[in-house]
A and B are shown apart, each in its own frame.
Chain A
Amino acid sequence: MRYWKVIVLAAIVILGIGTYYIQNAFASPDYPEFHLEKVSGDEGVVDGLIFMGSYIDNYKEFGEDVRITPEDTIYQSERSYFDNMTEGFQDSTIKRLQSDYRKFMRGKNESSSSFFEDDKRLIYADTFGKESDEGFKIEMLDKETNETTDFQVEIPENNINYLNVVDVQADEKDVFITTRNFYTHDPNKPETEEGYHVYRINIENGSLIDDEVIFENKTDHSDKGWTELVEVNNDTDIGKEDYFVFRLDHIKEVGEYDEYDDYETYYKTESSDFFAYHFGTNELKELKIPDEGLGADKTAYVHEGAVYFLNKTKSGFELIRYQMDNGELNTTEVPTTLDLYDGNIFIVFHDGKMYIPNSSLEGSTANLFVLDEKTGKLVYEGKMSADRELENVFLDLNELAFE
């Protein structure tokens, strides 16, 4: 036969690669379907709730992003190339802004801490300069007229080595940019290495009115330990917040003998001090949160003038609520029959409720608790269940969205 080499080779290609992709297109991968199963409470509060996270199979050595909707479990490889491309890894706030204000969002860095939004305006602030230390560029979108104004503000002579925008707030007249500044310093003496600043900038004439140092971290490495600043503010929430909340961790070197009798040292957060800065009054308050093993290695969540902590107890967990303006401390016991896991846990505030997903480090199980924000009462609890027995598989939930 003439040209048999072309024909045979082409046939092998079509048979091999062709069938592989045709099969892929028609047969979805045999991954487990998850769904939220009610344990108790009002099912209405989880209507349209979407979980996002990753699915990891240890033995098979692969992991995929997964979205669990009430109807369906969708894995990354099941979605089209273009869906994966446009949805990327951005957080849901940035996704929403990009679809609502596509023109304004073009070329903006994708960190939601650089944005502020209220009913009338969307404001973006970022740094400029080679080491991003020369000043700020600010862009403002008027939502009614759809007009954008932008200006730059220089920071006068300084010893800043590098700075990060950690929060943007605004009132009628001014923009407040909270930054974490890293200073150039003399390595020979213990010194101030970093600090939080709030830059107040007038919107009318674009001038820098005030550069207020709200806290400086004086690091002393001599005592086998150091202190470290950590932002506590919820940065996916870009609406108005009265307070900027952060903590100072005291980290110490500790040592112990491991199972092979070798002395091992590691670092441990011994305690944390919480601080809140009020944008209106320029006041910095230390939050008096009782140190019952609460601060260290515990995450705090800020929402509408209150700081929340979760604490594991014998019969479940407790929600600790600290009201920043009057210092009132409330602890609500949340009894649950479900297990509490050491894996990912976080709070999402939505519609007057707190959604708390908690995934396990040891298996594919995860729970969801929904509390009423005012009373702290449990209104719903449920667990993720899969359509089959799973071994050595992990489901790590890391974001929630509402349809």
Chain B
Amino acid sequence: MKNYVKLVDFELKRFMKIYLALIGIVIISQIVGVIVESNQFMNLANGEMLDGSMNLAQFLETYWPLTMSRILFSRWFILPVGLSAAALIFYCFFIWYRDWFGKNTFIYRLLMLPTARINILLAKASAIFLMVLGLVSIQLILLPIENIIFQTIVPFDLRVDMTIREIVNGSGYYGYLQILLPTSIVQFFINYGIGFMTVFTLFTAILFERSYRIKGIIFGVAYCIFALVIFLSPFIIEVFSEFGYFYPEELFIIEVILGIIVTGISIWVSHYLLNRKVTV
């Protein structure tokens, strides 16, 4: 346990500079975004109403009062969130390959540590997971602050206030915040459970490549397809046979079990590869 925590801390340290930079970009871009978007709206309102062509009611009817969920759709918000997602996905690969291709083949020292090798894998996955959740939390902490800035710039008559919960849900049907922070806690565990499973499957594929090199790429891709087929098998069967054989609650239970099985197989295969096959 102690070794595991030590390794997680160590993995975090190695990405900390870039991670902090990402957080910085998110904070700065979003805060600048709220200020710029709010001011643009105020300029528009002043322009339309001061030259006498519109009164308040006409303006609101044409442009609608500003809300946080409209600001959330601007580039200032979508770009840094997209950048963070891309960086963390990229890091899922980099977290392994830097150990082989970085200065003085670090993986050699990692594998020589007096601890179960599976801890290396668990630590890397945990580090990525913590960083993803950390960014989501930063977003949640930022929202009330942004709300205050928004309310300071845009007067009450021209805005509609929303609670944090409404902002998160309000980006509604195509909103990215709904995926990161679903209304229901169960859906939260489903989304991140699927995320966890995907990371472990990807790690297994990477370890296949590290173990068998060129041939390993094929094994890795095959393994990913295998995992996908297992996980989606109830749906695949339904497409080929009778429509909707299972009731939704049954499908839910089946999917939870299959998700645990796929994650379990991935960890078990990774364990085997790390102990027996991986080469430096």
Binding site for B on A (CB under 8 A): 2-6, 9-10, 12-13, 15-17, 20-21, 23-25, 29-30, 58-63, 77, 80-82, 84-86, 88, 98, 102, 106-110
| Residue from A30, A81, A108 within 8 A of B187 (CB atoms) | A81
Q: How far is the CA of A241 from the CA of B252 in the complex (A)?
A: 38
A5 touches B170 (CB 8 A): no
Q: Which residues of the other chain, B, contact A24 by a CB distance below 8 angstroms? A: 165, 183, 185
Q: In whole Å, how far is B73's beta carbon from the nearest beta carbon of chain A?
A: 9
Q: Which residues of the other chain, A, contact B215 by a CB distance below 8 angstroms? A: none
Asked if A5 meets B9 with Cβ closer than 8 Å, knowing A21-B188, A107-B243, the reply is yes
Q: Which residues of the other chain, B, contact A58 by a CB distance below 8 angstroms? A: 64
Q: Which residues of the other chain, B, contact A59 by a CB distance below 8 angstroms? A: 64-65, 67, 160
Q: How far is the CA of A85 from the CA of B165 in the complex (A)?
A: 21
Q: Is B69 an interface residue (CB 8 A)?
A: yes
A5 touches B12 (CB 8 A): yes
Q: How far is the CA of A12 from the CA of B130 in the complex (A)?
A: 10
Binding site for A on B (CB under 8 A): 5-6, 8-9, 12-13, 16, 64-65, 67, 69-70, 130-131, 133-134, 136-141, 160, 162-166, 168-172, 181, 183-188, 242-249, 252
Asked if A61 meets B172 with Cβ closer than 8 Å, knowing A29-B166, A86-B248, A107-B245, the reply is yes
Q: How far is the CA of A63 from the CA of B171 in the complex (A)?
A: 11
A13 touches B184 (CB 8 A): no
Pick 11 A–B contacts, CB within 8 A, sort by A.
Answer: A9-B130, A12-B137, A24-B183, A24-B185, A29-B165, A61-B69, A81-B184, A81-B185, A85-B249, A85-B252, A86-B249
Q: Which residues of the other chain, B, contact A81 by a CB distance below 8 angstroms? A: 184-187
Assuming A3-B5, A6-B130, what are 19 further A-B pairs, CB within 8 angstroms?
A6-B5, A9-B134, A10-B130, A12-B138, A13-B134, A15-B137, A20-B140, A21-B185, A21-B188, A23-B165, A29-B163, A60-B69, A60-B166, A77-B184, A82-B249, A102-B247, A107-B242, A107-B244, A110-B244
B184 touches A20 (CB 8 A): no
A6 touches B170 (CB 8 A): no
Q: In whole Å, how far is A130's beta carbon from the nearest beta carbon of chain B?
A: 13
Q: Which residues of the other chain, B, contact A80 by a CB distance below 8 angstroms? A: 184, 186
Q: Which residues of the other chain, B, contact A110 by a CB distance below 8 angstroms? A: 244
7 tightest A-B CB contacts, nearest first = A16-B137, A81-B186, A16-B140, A81-B184, A5-B12, A3-B9, A107-B245
Q: Which residues of the other chain, A, contact B183 by a CB distance below 8 angstroms? A: 24, 77
Q: How far is the CA of A107 from the CA of B244 in the complex (A)?
A: 5
